[in-house]
Amino acid sequence: MSGKKIQNSKVQELTILALLTALVAVCTMMIKIPTISTEGYIHLGDSMIFLSAIMFGKKKGAIAAGIGSAMADLLLGYIHWVIPTLIIKALMGYGVGLIADVESDNIINLKNSLALLFGASWMVFGYFIAGGYLYGGLMISAASVPANLVQAFAGALIFIPIGVALKKTKYFNQYVLK
């Protein structure tokens, strides 16, 4: 492979990663429903985390999820959540990408279903523990569990039709690394 093709490939990879990160941040910030009990918010960013990890793998999933979600918290003024969000969401993206069947032409399969279940569960658990630390007790943090469950499973449900549609496009598939 020539040097120019390698360079173009690296630019393409960086561009895709930047776009995925921006998608996570924008979808996190676009529609936010405040949760009074935990001073957090419900958002659609998890759908793009699932898209990044299941369609592009664990590395891109982790980076886009962690940085995109942390940037959204920073830009929305949830400064105290930036570091926990970076860790929780990066591990969520990595775990989802690790479990998922990235190479499958079918979005709806057992491995991807398990990946979505893991991602949703990890996110709820991660914020439960982080909230307990930030707010000084797990009882206070327990109030975030229902909202986080809604957010996680809504993200999974939103991802599924988007993922199915994107997997069917020839244009999109040329950029997914297998």
Q: Locate the domains of the chain by residue range.
A: 32-173
Query: Rounded to an integer, what distance in angstroms lies between the CA atom of residue 149 and that of residue 58?
Result: 22
| Site of tokens 């936010």 | 32
pLDDT of residue 34: 86
Angle between helix axes 145-167 and 110-135 (nearest 10 degrees) is: 150
**Residue 3 predicted with pLDDT over 90:** no
**Identity of residue 72:** A
pLDDT at site 102 = 87
Report the topology of domain 32-173.
Answer: Arp2/3 complex 21 kDa subunit ARPC3 (1.10.1760)
Distance CA 47, CA 87 (A): 18
In tens, the pLDDT along 127-163 reads 999 999 998 999 989 998 999 999 999 999 999 999 9
The CA–CA distances, whole Å, from 103 to 12, 44, 80 equal 19, 25, 37
- The confidence band for 178, taking pLDDT boundaries of 50, 70 and 90, is very low
Q: Round to whole Å and give the CA distance between 129 and 110.
A: 28
Residue with the bigger pLDDT between 170 and 142: it is 142
Tell me the average pLDDT of the chain. Answer: 91
pLDDT in tens, 89-124: 999 999 999 999 988 889 999 999 999 999 999 999
Which residues have CB under 8 Å from 7's CB, separation 6+?
A: none
Q: Using the structure block, give the residue that is written with the tokens 């997914």.
A: 176
Question: pTM for this structure?
Answer: 0.92
Burial 3-16, CB ≥16 within 10 A → b, else e = eeeeeeeeeeeeeb
Closest CA relative to residue 161, chosen from 108, 99, 121, 114:
108
- pLDDT for res 4: 65
125: confidence class by pLDDT, cuts 50, 70, 90: very high
pLDDT tens sequence across 25-50: 999 999 888 887 767 788 999 999 99
Retrieve residue 131's tokens.
């909230």
